[in-house]
Amino acid sequence: MKLFEKIKKLFGYSYLVNLNTLEIHDLNNTQANCKINLMTNKKLITKKQLNKYLANGSNGCRWCLKKHDNG
């Protein structure tokens, strides 16, 4: 994770959206299978934004955000 992303995480941006797949990752619980370091089109979001993304069809990661994974 880059320094800018670490700073944003301190301010509540604790989720990462892969904008290509609309899969959401929990930065406090990332796993090796998430492969967030390989993502090129991504966006950091807050808990409030997480609920908006989920309501609009995004999916939680099966490894780090299981409770929001739709399979």
Domain ranges of the chain: 3-68
What is the C-alpha to C-alpha distance for residues 19 and 24, in angstroms, rounded to an integer?
A: 9
Q: What mean pLDDT is predicted for residues 2-18?
A: 83
Per-residue pLDDT tens for 11-61? 888 999 999 999 999 998 999 999 998 999 999 999 999 999 999 999 999
CB count, 10 Å around CB of 16?
26
pLDDT band of residue 5 (cuts 50, 70, 90) is confident
What torsion, rounded to 10 degrees, do the Cα atoms 21, 68, 47, 28 define? -90
Contact predicate 36/10, CB 8 Å: no
Q: What's the whole-model pTM score?
A: 0.87
